[in-house]
Amino acid sequence: MQTYTRNIFYYKDYFLDFYACQTEEVKKKFNWTLQLIATIDRVPKKYFRHMAGTDGLYEIRVEMVNNIYRAFAFFDEGQLIVIANAFQKKTQKTPKSELDLAKK
């Protein structure tokens, strides 16, 4: 039986709508990454890290072949993680519109 260190919830349908449009391989990788975040104490920065210059905003990182995906999240009341929005990263810099949406 799996022991959970953190509980994950979704803010509105932003992430779920994004997730529904992905391939099965991308969905599996997101599921694996979210399972990792939910179950281990120290998540490697490769998968989950604090966004520099923000007040408590975190980035969930998923890589599939040559594609990079990001989801923004934050902690709410201890070990509860709320996932806001997600996008496919196509440039070196995170799009300001996605970052602004997550901050809202």
pLDDT of residue 23: 95
The answer to whether residue 1 sits within a structural domain is: no
The answer to whether residue 16 sits within a structural domain is: yes
The answer to whether residue 83 sits within a structural domain is: yes
The answer to whether residue 2 sits within a structural domain is: no
CATH code for the domain in which residue 13 is found:
3.30.2310.20
pLDDT of residue 4: 85
Q: How does pLDDT run across 3-30, given as a tens digit for each residue?
A: 888 999 999 999 999 999 999 999 999 9
Residue 92 has pLDDT above 80, yes or no: no
Range of the domain at 65: 7-103
Quote the number of domains for the chain.
Answer: 1
Sheet holding 80-89, edge to edge: 7-10, 80-89, 67-75, 57-64, 48-50
The answer to whether residue 77 sits within a structural domain is: yes
Q: How does pLDDT run across 23-77, given as a tens digit for each residue?
A: 999 999 999 999 999 999 899 999 999 998 888 899 999 999 889 999 999 988 7
Pairing type for strands 48-50 and 67-75 reads unpaired
The answer to whether residue 11 sits within a structural domain is: yes
Contact predicate 83/12, CB 8 Å: no
The answer to whether residue 81 sits within a structural domain is: yes
Structure tokens at 71: 């989801």
